[in-house]
Amino acid sequence: MTGVLNTRIAFNLGTRASFRVLILASVFGALCSFFVLDVSAQSSEQQIKAAFLYHFCSYVQWPNISTVNGTATIVIGIAGSRRSLGYFERTLAGVHKNRFNLIVRPVAPSDNLESINILYVTNDSGFFLKDFQKLTAKSPILTVTEEATIPDGSMINFVLREDKVRFEASNSRATAASLKLSSQLLAIAVQVH
């Protein structure tokens, strides 16, 4: 009887782990299938991050998104090098997905961020998220970074794990900014703070 019980426990644990892997595989497959991957590792990493940004729009609820004819415009502010900005502009700007129209624009700490829905501070920008905190402190702006560990104020932080782009999330910071991260998004984060 003990062997049967141990087998059932192992099966249940294995089923949960398999289910999580299945969810991760399907989400990452969908992310990668949307974008054609380049051959260079740098381009692939940027494409995966762009795909994540694109899909975050479906898994975050903002209180102040306006829609025209059922389509919401989401503005992504990129604080990054010219190269990064150019890449994200070419990849994401003007992309329409069902009910979203994406606009990408460069941002700096001196800019007014009132019209921004997502602020992405790349690691090649020369800026840190703390440079923007006065502007994002009480605004419903999804803050995205790419540092070794999630910095103060960041809601989503890209990390490399086993040479794969993953992300960690801070649900409490998102909630404090009147944003709602879906349970599906939190389920595929490598860590939720």
**Would you state the pLDDT for residue 12?**
43
Please report, to the nearest 10 degrees, the dihedral formed by the alpha carbons of residues 82, 83, 84, 89 taken in order: 80
pLDDT in tens, 150-188: 999 999 999 999 989 999 999 999 999 999 999 999 999
For the cut 60, the answer to whether the pLDDT of residue 35 exceeds it is: no
For residue 21, the model assigns a pLDDT of 46
- Higher-pLDDT residue of 62 and 67 is 62
Contact yes or no for 150/110 (Cβ under 8 A): no
pLDDT of residue 72: 85
CATH architecture of residue range(s) 35-192: 3-Layer(aba) Sandwich (3.40)
